[in-house]
Amino acid sequence: MGFTFKVMRLILVSAFLVIVPFEDLDMLCAQTIRLTEETDKQALLEFKAHVSETNRVVLDSWNDSLPLCMWTGVKCGSKHRRVTGVDLGGLKLTGIVSPFIGNLSFLRSLNLADNFFRGAIPFEVGNLFRLQYLNMSNNFLGGALPVVLSNCSSLSSLDLSSNHFEQGVPAEFGSLSKLVLLSLGRNNLTGKFPASLGNLTSLQMLDIIYNQMDGEIPGSIARLKQMVFFRIALNKFTGVFPLPIYNMSSLVFLSITGNSFSGSLRPDFGSLLPNLQILYMGINNFTGSIPESLSNISNLQQLDIPSNHLNGKIPLSFGRLRNLLRLGLNNNSLGSYSSGDLDFLGAMANCTRLQYLNVGMNKLGGQLPMSIANLSTQLTELSLGINFISGSIPHGIANLVRLQALDMGENLLTGKLPPSFGELSELRKVLLYSNQLSGEIPSSLGNITWLTYLYLINNTFEGSIPSSLGRCSYLLDLNLGTNKLNGSIPHELMELPSLIILNVSFNSLVGPLREDVGNLKFLLGLDVSYNKLSGQIPSSLGNCLSLEYLWLQGNSFVGSIPDMRRLTGLRFLDLSKNNLSGTIPEYLANFSKLQNLNLSMNNFEGAVPTEGIFGNTSAMSIAGNINLCGGIPSLLLEPCSVELPRKHSSSVKKIIAICVSSGIASLLLLSLSVFYICRYKQRTKNVRGNNNENDRSLSPVKSVYEKISYDELYKITGGFSSSNLIGSGNFGAVYKGFLGSKNKIVAIKVLNLSKRGAAKSFMAECEALGGVRHRNLVKLVTVCSSVDSEGNGFRALVYEFMANGNLDMWLHPEESDGPSRRALTLLERLNIAIDVASALVYLHTYCHSPIAHCDLKPSNILLDEDLTAHVSDFGLARLLLKFDRESFHTKFSSAAVRGTIGYAAPEYGMGGHPSIVGDVYSFGILLLEMFTGKRPTNELFVDGLTLHGFTKSAILQERRAVDITDQSILCGADDPVLGVEMVECLSQLVYQVGVRCSEESPVDRISMAEALRKLVSVRDTFIVAVRPFR
């Protein structure tokens, strides 16, 4: 049959040659080439037609007047003039990918990376059997990964990272036998790791970072002998360290950070993977000791294993790693509180290229060795904080000439701060808080002109504050509180142009608060409390228009309260325990943001206002001012209208009343004095660290909250009825109930203790919220730590109920099961953003211990009936400064910082420890989501970086802000002029704040205080701009 067919074909060809003249054959071939070229041309024109008109200008060359092979981004083969390559990467094109792309049958390379394409990858791409290179990364493509891509059997490189693909990785991808690179990171992929990928024996690079894949890594990947780059970080993989990885002896880059791997690492780890240069294994549950064999990996440059449960000593043999640039072992249980724990530092002197060393938050003891001065001169960051290190800081510390960040806080260091410290001219951040350092603060610190953060709080420094600090013109945060400093506050500090926080509280400073304090235009918080300052409160404070936190209590200020009516942003004002007199200014009642006002223990007289904060006795105190009158009835003050006495008996009664009142006031003054003294002593005691085991184990539940019983919670929730269920979270369910003892509706969060981390979440919330009170923080009413009716452990947290749900419901009402909600207005969004920023500034700066929330996102922002925002869910929160060391490690060492994909700071994925700058990043992403209406993960964006980059790119282009702004905001603009003003406000102000907060590098982010100040300015600017149109 086959022979017959060949004969027939020969006959037909011969007949064709007879019929067609030879001279016409060239013409026919040319027409065939033109036809096939026309097919490619039409396919590309169809592709162009699917690109949005606003971006189509970059494809202007795609027209009939230019030859196809001269079009932008188009490459043709030299023989047949067919399109073999299309490179449109980075052109910021929007629209969808046309299915006609599948007609480019000679296509070998297609690059659409770094654009704004959305929708699904067309199935027709599977027709491109010659395709070798496909890159669609950094777009907004979604849906399932197309199985038909497995038809592109010539593929050697497939990059679909940073999109919005869902579901699992198709098992059929395992048939792409020529694949060398497979990058699917930063999507929303779920499911298991396909065992079929073990068939890709040519694969050298596999990247699936930042997805939601789970389960164990299959043994089949042991066949991937050519693997050089293997990154599966930030997923939900479980099991022991993937044993097949030990077979990948060619590996250069390995990252498994941010999963749930457990067990110990093999002792011969380094011998099995001798070519590693980058090794990231942080934020897992690894136990046991660090393998000594890691020191055999001679080319190792970065070793990061933070936030695990590793114990034992840090190997001395690490000193053999001559190429090491980065060593991160923080937040483990390394060391044994003993003298040999720091021996490794001497060996590390051989690592002459080392730039980053972080062994903070461990159990390292012993004296700080002199050999620390012999570390690499390339070192830029050194962190030994939150350990048990004693001894003094050596003079040789000045050898670390490139040091930018030094953290030795929360240790047992003693002695003086060496003057040579001032030779570290590149230092930006110095954290030496909560030690026992003494002597004078070296004036040489003034030579560190780049210094931005100086934390010397909770030591025993004495002498005066060096005036040379006034030369640190970039200083943002100066914290010298709780020491033994004396003398006056140098006027040079009042010339620091960027100062945002100044804390010199709990010292013995004397003299007046200088009038030139008004020069600190950007000052957000001023704390000079509990010193020996005297004189009048300077009127120039009224010029510090950014001021929100003002603590002057516990001094000897006299005179009346100066005119501060322009400080309308004040949130906390404490003037208590001074000798102030005169009347209480009426304008304080107009401070709508004021959350706490303390005027107690002074000599004020006259009428107490009744409006504003003066109507809330829980937020205001005037005790100990016996000459006050009026006010709201609950203050029980005498009326201000006093009649002349008509009878002797009435005069006697008045005298008796005055004596009794004076006696009560004196008794109250004495009681409060004793209370403050005890509180101060206890605070100092806690700061210095207490090694008593009982103190360390003291539960915040017992010491802060009055507990409620399981039976009462069972009753008020109707037996935890589903009809009272109002939500669920990572660690349990939330019910609504009426708490009779408090006469209020509450939300009860019942922890699922069978879920890993739930108990630690309970302790974290209690610890974080135990000592904080802020208008924009959810209030923890009470707690329950008991057993249920069956004798099982029971934990519950009872919060104030928020009538308007969470912010996520308002930003994405189409995804909410609740009642339909109107769109938030621009002003409402600004107010909510300012509320959240205010809460974070308070947590970061004004708590007794700075607190990092670690999981800021819209669903954790609750809204009350007035749409005032309250930050909630502190299950991942970290107290960063004055917590007890031992309890910190036992409570948090297994609860590594993960946060939520899209909102968590990038450094958490690389093993970074909890920090306030991580919260700043999350706030930036939250802010961008509030005004674009786009999630960083679920709809258009993959992660924080993509949303950040998208917004940053847009605001750099004229009139692009309107294109990325939530349409529901635009629809709310009744007037065209208002719309223009709004777009201008967004593009130049709001988006800029969000972008600057969400920079990838922590050092590039602005502070939360600066973000808050800018947002308040945005709101004020907007209100002024729209007022003429209302």
H-run or E-run covering 837: helix 826-841
Q: Are residues 961 and 850 in the same domain?
A: yes
pLDDT tens string 574-631: 999 999 999 999 999 999 989 999 999 999 999 999 999 999 988 999 999 999 999 9
Provide the β-strand partners of residue 608.
630
Q: Are residues 864 and 818 in the same domain?
A: yes
CA distance 509 to 552: 12
CA distance 381 to 326: 10
749 marked as part of a ligand binding site? yes
Residue 409 has pLDDT above 50, yes or no: yes
Does residue 274 sit within a domain?
no
Q: Are residues 742 and 822 in the same domain?
A: no
Q: Are residues 522 and 585 in the same domain?
A: yes
Does residue 360 sit within a domain?
no
Domain of 907, CATH number, reads 1.10.510.10
Query: Active site residue: 407, 855, 884, 943, which one?
Result: 855
Domain of 706, CATH number, reads 3.30.200.20
Q: Are residues 913 and 1012 in the same domain?
A: yes
CA distance 910 to 961: 32
Q: Are residues 821 and 911 in the same domain?
A: yes
> What pairing do the DSSP bridges indicate for beta strands 405-407 and 356-358?
unpaired
Q: Are residues 808 and 792 in the same domain?
A: no
CA distance 496 to 351: 38
Nearest partner of 307 among 285, 280, 334, 337, judged by Cα: 285
Residue 50 has pLDDT above 50, yes or no: yes
pLDDT tens string 52-97: 877 788 898 999 889 999 999 999 998 888 999 999 998 889 899 9
CA distance 205 to 135: 14
Read off the pLDDT band of 786 (50, 70, 90): confident
Provide the β-strand partners of residue 749.
734, 797
- Compute the average pLDDT of residues 716-744: 79
Residue 825 has pLDDT above 60, yes or no: yes
What is the Cα 456 distance to its own chain's centre?
A: 25
* pLDDT for the residue 801: 85
* pLDDT for the residue 325: 96
CA distance 834 to 758: 31
Does residue 385 sit within a domain?
no
* pLDDT for the residue 701: 41
Q: Are residues 714 and 826 in the same domain?
A: no
Q: Final residue of a domain: which of 166, 196, 215? A: 166
Neighbouring CB atoms inside 10 A of 659's CB total: 10
Residue 385 has pLDDT above 80, yes or no: yes
* pLDDT for the residue 462: 96
* Residue 114 designated active-site: no
DSSP 8-state symbol, 755? S
SS3 assignment for 937-959: CCCCCCCHHHHHHHHHHHHCCCC
Enclosing domain of residue 537: 488-639
Q: Are residues 860 and 956 in the same domain?
A: yes
CA distance 220 to 230: 15
Read off the pLDDT band of 731 (50, 70, 90): low
Neighbouring CB atoms inside 10 A of 412's CB total: 19
Q: Final residue of a domain: which of 166, 192, 213? A: 166
Q: Are residues 669 and 717 in the same domain?
A: no
Residues in the chain: 1030
Residue 164: which residues within 8 A CB-CB, separation 6 or more? 140, 141, 142, 187, 188, 937, 938, 939, 940, 941, 942
pLDDT tens string 329-373: 999 999 999 989 999 999 999 999 999 999 999 999 999 999 999
* pLDDT for the residue 714: 87
* pLDDT for the residue 85: 95
- For the chain, give the mean pLDDT: 82
Neighbouring CB atoms inside 10 A of 839's CB total: 26
Does residue 279 sit within a domain?
no
How many domains would you assign to the chain? 5
Does residue 568 sit within a domain?
yes
Does residue 437 sit within a domain?
no
Q: Are residues 589 and 611 in the same domain?
A: yes
CA distance 9 to 135: 43
Domain of 596, CATH number, reads 3.80.10.10
State phi, psi for 460 to the nearest 5 degrees: -130, 35
Q: Final residue of a domain: which of 120, 135, 166? A: 166
Does residue 342 sit within a domain?
no
Nearest partner of 831 among 965, 1007, 553, 1020, judged by Cα: 1020
Q: Are residues 492 and 523 in the same domain?
A: yes
Cβ(471)–Cβ(446) under 8 Å?
A: yes
